[in-house]
Structure 1
Amino acid sequence: MNIVILDGVLFVASVLLIIGLRKLSHPDSASNGNRLAAVALALGVIVALVYPLETQNNNYIYIVAGICIGGIIGIISAKKVPMTAMPEMVSLFNGFGGLSAALISLVWLVNNHFVSEATELGIVLFNLFLGLVAFIGSMVAYGKLSGSLKDEHLRIPYSTILNSLLLIIAIVLIIIFSYSGQLSISQTVLFSILSLLYGITFVAPVGGADMPVVIATLNALTGITAAISGVITDNKLMLLGGVLVGSSGIILTLLMCKAMNRSVISVFFGNFSGAKEAGQEVEGNAKEISASNLAIQLAYSQRVCIIPGYGMAVAQAQKVVKELEEILEGKDVEFKYAIHPVAGRMPGHMNVLLAESDVSYDKLLDLDDANTYLESADVAIVVGANDVVNPSALDDPGSKIYGMPILNLSKTKAVIVLKRSMNPGYAGIQNPLFFKDNTKMLFGDAKKSIEKLLMELKVV
């Protein structure tokens, strides 16, 4: 096929990819944006298959087999994985993207007999390093998100020093190998092992509510490796897609750092949570409220605000929350949602869940607007959130989340917390909010509790 035509198709695919990613920025257009991006990438794969190569090895049977296997795995995963497991699935797929980039680098090294010009070899080794870091880091993140890896199993002494040392060694090795213009198989293996070790020590220290920051960082790394892989393979669409994903991932990382009050340096050196003690002991008695009493309180309120967290995802309570919104608005109650940037286990987790329930994007308040709204709210209902509403972040210098911006409920007239028990949140620390004078607890599964509340509201 004419190369000019193929390049034209790649140009069209590039435009579709840009438009598709742009549409992902708003819930109303996200679905169409996802379809456009999928079409663009499908066109890219087709062009890559028919594009003239310098050597024809007739490897199409392996390529088709890989597409079929990957397609089947993707379809099954998309259909079977519940919404609550979406963060770990995103992490898993992101890791495979990093592994793909690393394999591209290894194949390039093999095809060039591990010998090349200094700049070219340096780029390939850098891509190999980032790809393996993104892969193994995402696998560790997957284990932590799914609960199969506990923080106590991943304690690494002097993690910051070790991270810095491994990173310096990797950079020095890239410079040495590139300057020499060649490396052996054993050196490649050792460099790969070093990269994997750094990926583990990079993510292992992460604890508490910091996981969304690392997910964003790993996504950025995978995007960068895709862009470099596009340069290595002379694939323009891969280069463009990688640049878009990498740059957006970096921007998202910066936003998450701001939301967590973390420095960028602490992200890249794995200096998360864990550096502080348990903090002050929390004392007091939690007060309970029944669904019937809460229904009366809500029916006579003017402003109600929902604060969703990971517990809402676990209970799959987003649809009944939407029903609660509709009933209360029918009683002339103003209803809003306060969204913390790192609520859940990945960036935008709560937005995805609420969009699934057709919650209007205009009702979602970001951190600053939410805190302003909460000062005048009659009732704030915390649905499965914990660390993002923990006042220890404001007044306990010994707490591991101290300094993190939170949704401040100190001035809200009444706070209702929906939880299964008094167990601490993901950060592993108790929440003094539960014992405040304006707070009451409604224990039980969030979905069942709200269903009871809906029944009571219908007769108020």
Structure 2
Amino acid sequence: MLGQGFVSAAAIAASVLFILSLGGLSNQEKAKRAVWYGIIGMAVAVFFTAFGPGIGGYWLMIPMIIIGAVIGARMAGRVEMTEMPQLVAALHSCVGLAAVFVAWSADLERRRVLAARAVDGAMHDFSAFAALVATKAPDELTFLQVEVVLGIFIGAVTFTGSVIAFGKLAGKVDGKPRQLPGGHLLNAGAAVLSLLLAILYLSGAGFWTLLLLAALAFFIGYHLIMGIGGADMPVVVSMLNSYSGWAAAAIGFTLSNDLLIVTGALVGSSGAILSYIMCKAMNRNFVNVILGGFGGSQGPAAEIEGEQVAIDASGVASALNDAESIIIVPGYGMAVAQAQTAVSDLVRKLRAAGKEVRFAIHPVAGRLPGHMNVLLAEARVPYDIVLEMDEINDDFASTDVVIVIGSNDIVNPAAQEDPNSPIAGMPVLKVWEAKQVFISKRGQGTGYSGIENPLFFKDNSRMFYGDARESLNALLPLVE
């Protein structure tokens, strides 16, 4: 067994590593090192916690750690980048459910300690946690009960909410907003009942109050996320990430685990900040995202005139050969087609011909912030030509050719031109200001949000239909 001093020192070291990991992830060049900081920090946290004072049951713990490690390694090896958002949602659900189980267990141990005290006041064969509870004063036990309530409620909402988010992202659940009759009143009623159950529990009611509390919170998580449109799922996943962090922090207080408190607070706060950034990038109110579906038109949408004009690879290649400045806008379609390598090959060929080539990245391109940056880094696209929306949006007017690969809502001019559009006011990449725009798209359907895009009908736009990777591979030999 390791002494408490070693465990405390390890907790500080792991916390520092986690902070360095989060800080490094803001920069593409430092991201790999930052990931290793996180890996090492978690390894330190698990080892020193598992072998700390008062910990036992290794005959069960060690096999569970090995099984979990094997499952995690297999998942990491099999999951494609396009499936990363739903994997994140699935992992959030595990954190939420773990919080519920730990909180239930904590209350059962609390009741066991109180029952033993009532008999003879002896410590008996208490577990490490029960022994900790036995040392608490009455007011500290009240705080413990509050922590149990918070852990159960936040954890249960996170669990079912994350399961539904996973289903919507994976296409296993309809992405349209759907709610039971009564809508948000059901959520409000369930929240009020949850508060009443919490008060009953704190007043000395039985374990049944925690079971009902969890059931109501499970419903709130399910119904809340079912009522949110698929296009808002990136914000929802980020929000659930924050929830999972606060659930972990609540359980950290319950277990008197400083490292869990710090880690949970880091995840909770970073998830909340990321959700705010994404809402700002979409010109959306965070509360509106949580309480409703994507957008909300104020009247009939503007009529779209014209038609979608197709172009083949030779036509796109001719325009690229004549162009001096080119901007590429990647989206989720590039990720689905796994076209990032073909994009990288095209960029290298164009730059070798002396052309200026840059990428424009919208903050919510793909399904998670940074999704496109990771794919382009994977394909070895130079970091210095990958620019964020605010850095490049004013340059489209002086650009010869824009190639849009699998993007829809983030290049939709209706956001600025149609006040009745569901995405009115959302900051978008102003690709239509370029001289020529080529849109690589599988077909004429709408995007993930189901909103028609007037860009596809503009006079300077041409539709380059087909699978993005196949289309780009056909284009490569024609580019001089």
Query: TM-score, normalised to structure 1's length?
Result: 0.93
Corresponding letter in the other structure for 1:147: G
3-state SS of 1:165 partner: helix
Aligned-partner Cα distance in 2 for 1:70–1:241: 20
Shift of 1:71: 1.0
Q: Residues 184 and 282 from structure 1, CA distance in 2 versus in 1: closer, same or farther, beyond 3 angstroms?
A: farther
3-state SS of 2:326 partner: strand
Corresponding letter in the other structure for 1:318: Q
Aligned-partner Cα distance in 2 for 1:52–1:166: 41
Q: 1:107 and 2:128 equivalent?
A: no
The unaligned stretches of length 5 or more in structure 2 are 115-137
3-state SS of 2:432 partner: coil
Shift of 1:366: 1.7
3-state SS of 1:375 partner: helix
Q: Structure 2 residue aligned with 1:162, among 166, 177, 186? A: 186
Structure 2 residue aligned with 1:50: 51
Q: Residues 414 and 172 from structure 1, CA distance in 2 versus in 1: closer, same or farther, beyond 3 angstroms?
A: farther
Structure 1 residue aligned with 2:37: 36
Shift of 1:152: 4.9
The unaligned stretches of length 5 or more in structure 1 are none
1:158-206 residue CA offsets vs partner (Å, 9 max, x unmatched): 533333333344344434433x1x3323222211111011101221122
Structure 1 residue aligned with 2:70: 72
3-state SS of 2:398 partner: coil
Corresponding letter in the other structure for 2:100: A
Aligned identity (percent) is 38
Shift of 1:290: 1.6
Q: Residues 208 and 5 from structure 1, CA distance in 2 versus in 1: closer, same or farther, beyond 3 angstroms?
A: closer
Aligned-partner Cα distance in 2 for 1:418–1:157: 41
Contact 1:134/1:218 (8 A) holds in 2: yes
3-state SS of 1:201 partner: helix
Where do 1:73-222 residues align within 5 Å? 73-113=71-111, 117-152=141-176, 154-178=178-202, 180=203, 182-222=204-244
Structure 2 residue aligned with 1:447: 469
Corresponding letter in the other structure for 2:173: L
Corresponding letter in the other structure for 1:272: G
Aligned-partner Cα distance in 2 for 1:289–1:248: 44
State the Cα RMSD in Å: 2.0
Q: 1:378 and 2:400 equivalent?
A: yes
Corresponding letter in the other structure for 2:387: L
Aligned-partner Cα distance in 2 for 1:349–1:278: 33
Contact 2:3/2:53 (8 A) holds in 1: no
Contact 1:209/1:387 (8 A) holds in 2: no
Aligned-partner Cα distance in 1 for 2:270–2:443: 38
Where do 1:366-445 residues align within 5 Å? 366-445=388-467
Q: Structure 1 residue aligned with 2:323, among 283, 301, 304? A: 301
Corresponding letter in the other structure for 2:103: S
Structure 2 residue aligned with 1:4: 5
Q: Structure 2 residue aligned with 1:272, among 293, 297, 304? A: 293
Corresponding letter in the other structure for 2:155: G
Shift of 1:453: 0.9
Structure 2 residue aligned with 1:245: 267
1:294-322 residue CA offsets vs partner (Å, 9 max, x unmatched): 11211221211111111000000111111
3-state SS of 1:406 partner: coil
Q: Residues 208 and 10 from structure 1, CA distance in 2 versus in 1: closer, same or farther, beyond 3 angstroms?
A: closer
Contact 1:166/1:198 (8 A) holds in 2: yes
Corresponding letter in the other structure for 2:86: E
Aligned-partner Cα distance in 1 for 2:300–2:344: 37
Shift of 1:123: 2.1
Corresponding letter in the other structure for 2:11: L
Shift of 1:227: 1.7
1:242-290 residue CA offsets vs partner (Å, 9 max, x unmatched): 111111111101101101111122234x223264477345443111112
3-state SS of 1:113 partner: helix
Corresponding letter in the other structure for 1:22: G
Q: Residues 412 and 156 from structure 1, CA distance in 2 versus in 1: closer, same or farther, beyond 3 angstroms?
A: farther
Q: Residues 391 and 107 from structure 1, CA distance in 2 versus in 1: closer, same or farther, beyond 3 angstroms?
A: same
Corresponding letter in the other structure for 2:43: A
Give the greater-gyration-radius structure (CA): 2
Q: Residues 172 and 366 from structure 1, CA distance in 2 versus in 1: closer, same or farther, beyond 3 angstroms?
A: farther
3-state SS of 1:442 partner: strand
1:100-150 residue CA offsets vs partner (Å, 9 max, x unmatched): 222211111111129874333122211211111111111101000000101
Moved over 6 A (4+): none
3-state SS of 2:53 partner: coil
Contact 2:362/2:389 (8 A) holds in 1: yes
Contact 1:210/1:260 (8 A) holds in 2: no
Query: TM-score, normalised to structure 2's length?
Result: 0.89
Contact 2:178/2:228 (8 A) holds in 1: no
3-state SS of 2:433 partner: coil
Contact 2:337/2:468 (8 A) holds in 1: yes
446-455 or 202-211, larger mean C-alpha shift: 202-211
418-427 or 393-402, larger mean C-alpha shift: 393-402
| Number of aligned positions between the proteins | 452
Structure 2 residue aligned with 1:362: 384
Aligned-partner Cα distance in 2 for 1:122–1:210: 32
3-state SS of 1:410 partner: helix
Aligned-partner Cα distance in 2 for 1:173–1:396: 47
Structure 1 residue aligned with 2:134: none
Aligned-partner Cα distance in 2 for 1:112–1:274: 47
Aligned-partner Cα distance in 1 for 2:208–2:196: 17
Contact 1:303/1:378 (8 A) holds in 2: yes
Corresponding letter in the other structure for 2:358: K
Corresponding letter in the other structure for 2:81: M
